Structure 1
Amino acid sequence: MTTNIDLNYVLNFTKELLEIPSPVGYTEKAKYRVIEELKKYNIPYFFNKKGTLIATIEGENNLEGKMISAHIDTIGAMVKKIKSNGRLELIQLGGIIWSGVEAENLKILTIDGKIFEGTLLPNKASAHVYGDDARTITREASTMEVRLDEEVYSKEDTENLGISIGDFIAFDPRTVITKNGFIKSRFLDDKLCIGQIFGYIKFLKESKLKPKNKLYICFSDYEEIGYGVSYIPEDAKEFIALDIGLVSPDSQGDEKKVAITIKDNRAVYDLDIRKKMMEICKNNNIKYTTDIYNRYSSDASVVVQRGADIKIACIGPSVDASHHYERTHISGVLEVIKLLINYL
């Protein structure tokens, strides 16, 4: 049943999304690229009051619905201060790790649509100048700065370019797909899951199939700071967040398998759904792991914590080095889509 998954399509669309900056609060361009893809498949969509994009697919049974989500926002940063030397001090958006973006190229996205380039460096970057301080300085917001690729030497020089406090920072994703199937990139969390959803949609359309139930697809846009999904349709009985699993010494995470989350630091996921998913995996030779994450939450766990009357689950590709330079494998990407197809 799952031999018609177009993996190249999933990877190409994911790579395209990864190249569109979408740090928390700056998601419109990526959102409208998703809309273009929905239109390609004639899938209706709407926005809730918050501006979240939600698509709908008719099912064989439209009396009860299910909802799935993947978040379009990524971690990033914002200009907090223009320093006296013309360089920028940043404040993080979401759980960014400063050492993970050290020496990375970036774009400054101004409020009036200008784009400038720069690099994030420690304040004391040169070993020739600062000696051991360059090696030992703590990497945090106050000790890092953006070196602009412009001739600026004062706060006024930078302000005259049109850069101001509150401008967004988007780091280079550096996406690479290796010959042996590894996918390396920043922001696989969660743009890869959007790519997987469209792999599922393409499979449905080409196979001329419908999901069992009416399906709502939420492309949430503030997940990285804890309020991604705020609208749950009244007829939706289950909510499945597509988000990354974790690879660590304390987990069973495997980059070549779909991760089924049991519990995170906000919620315990529904036991009946977990049992059904595990049974489906066993019966359809879908490779999977189950895991508990202590420093993690998803759109689904946040939704029930805020009082939503719905059963929840969370699945996704297991990713190594989350919120750093992330990596997974195409085999795991396929396993996620296979579980989506067989469960939905």
Structure 2
Amino acid sequence: MSPRKRQRDKRNRKLPRLYWTLTLFLPLVSAFVVYMFLRPLPQREAETPPVQKPHVPSPLPSETIKEVLFSFLFEQGVKRHMVEVFPDKVEIRLPKAVRSSLVLSLKDHFERAGFSIKEGNANGMWLLEVQNAKGERLIVGFPQVGLKKPLLAVVVDDLGEDAQGLEMLMEIAEPFTFSFLPFATRTKELAQKARRRGFEVLLHLPMEPKGYPLEDPGKGALLCSMEEGTLVDQTLKALSQIPFVSGANNHMGSHFTEDFQRMRVVFRVLKQKGMFFLDSLTTPHSMAKEAARVEGLRLYVRDVFLDNGQDTEDFNRQWDLLLKKAYEKGEAIGICHPYKSTLMELKEKVLSLKDVELVPLSWLSPYL
């Protein structure tokens, strides 16, 4: 057999072997590929997120007795020069008219802070011995001989619309008394701001003037045509706008304040709320004194309007009259408004006071 034929026979014998090999293995490979492609993927167990503990703020360190005391004094309008500080004692000199009420308020403030209090008296000085849970101890004394200067209260009316004038007065850092119209656009915001900064706040309650309706006292005014129930509702609604006020005074009201019975209705509401009334005295025939006497309401009466003329000359003349009354009576009440001319003059006058003490209105002796 020729060599070429033998090589061809050898090649022919190898072909069946390759055929059977492919026949056996191709189905297996195909099945494996199909299985791998179609098999369900193993489910991974969901990872449990780490448990997060709720954030609990660290407790603030307890306030010291002095911190609580000074915060209270700031809120009440007590000036720095009225307070004398010793290592274990603080003496506070206050006008006689306000001493008792402020001490009672301070006792309540200390008790709400969790402090224990003992009262005493030594050498004519009213004493409070205060102790906190840590054993810290402080004596707070109120000398019976308080401020000897004449006292002056300045009430700024018609607030609640413009913040600029109010900000200017607050920056002077003197204890003005601010009276806000109940339904002015920014009353709630500005009154809260004034109160937080330690100023006394009043409700400037709109009342019917003699020129009504041509002279409009504004939204929520109390009118002489209203029945008792309506007057009560209107007064409560006005108070709800700024419920933290110390008292109220009348905005306009030359007609309404001459109505004895209707003034009694309003005063009854204020008495139930523990407030006082300042008669702006927009008429010489006001019945506020008679109504307050019947209802047992604490009453103050305005001495001088400072800026009726809305000019510098008039303001200076009225300011001198206010000081004269303060010297004569020992205290006096002036009312002004946030006019630009008034603000500039008021700042200059108040900062130059030497022999007269400016105080919140409620520090003065009430008329009744």
TM-based fold match above 0.5: no
- Structure-2-length-normalised TM-score: 0.24
Q: Greater strand percent: which structure? A: 1
- Structure-1-length-normalised TM-score: 0.25
**Which of 1 and 2 has greater Rg?**
2
Q: Greater helix percent: which structure? A: 2
Q: Relative contact order, CA 8 A, sep 6+: which one is greater?
A: 1
